[in-house]
C-alpha cells in the first residue's frame, strides 16, 4: 500500500491551490493522510479526487473545517494503526 502524507496546506493563504507536484506525487497512492491546517475545505475535495483521504483538523483550521473533521483519528492500515 502506498500512502501519501501532507499537512499545513494553508490554502488559500499560502497558495491559491495545491501545487501540481503534490497532485503528481499523490496520483499513484492508495491513501492520502492530511494532518490538519487545510484552512479551506476545497483542498479536502481536491485530494479526494486523487485518492482515498483520511484527515484531521489542525489548530489553524476555521470553524467550518472543525465541524467536519475530528481533532484525532486512528486509522487501521493492514496490521498497523496510524494516528
- Residue-wise pLDDT for 23-64, tens only, equals 999 999 999 999 999 999 999 999 999 999 999 999 999 999
* Grid coordinates of 47: 485530494
* Domains: count for the chain: 1
Q: What is the pLDDT of residue 13?
A: 84
In angstroms, the Cα distances linking 28 to 4, 32, 43 are: 9, 10, 18
Total residue count of the chain as it appears in this document? 83
Pairing of strands 75-77, 31-34: unpaired
Rounded to two decimals, the pTM is 0.91
Task: Give the domain range for residue 32.
Answer: 3-82
Q: Which residues pair with residue 31 across a beta bridge? A: 3, 52
User: For residues 39, 41, 44 and 48, what is the CA-based torsion angle, rounded to 10 degrees?
Assistant: -170
Rounded CA gap, 39 and 66, in Å?
10
Dihedral sign for Cα atoms in the order 48, 50, 53, 57: negative
CATH number at residue 59: 3.60.21.10
**Comparison of pLDDT for 72 and 11, the residue scoring more:** 72
Amino acid at each position: 500500500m502506498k500512502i501519501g502524507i501532507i499537512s499545513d496546506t494553508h490554502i488559500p493563504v499560502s497558495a491559491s491551490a495545491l501545487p501540481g507536484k503534490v497532485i503528481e506525487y499523490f496520483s499513484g497512492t492508495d491513501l492520502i493522510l492530511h494532518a490538519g491546517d487545510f484552512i479551506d475545505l476545497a483542498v479536502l475535495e481536491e485530494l479526494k479526487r486523487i485518492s482515498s483521504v483520511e484527515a484531521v483538523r489542525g489548530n489553524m483550521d476555521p470553524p467550518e473545517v472543525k465541524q467536519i473533521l475530528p481533532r484525532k483519528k486512528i486509522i487501521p492500515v493492514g496490521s498497523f494503526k496510524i494516528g
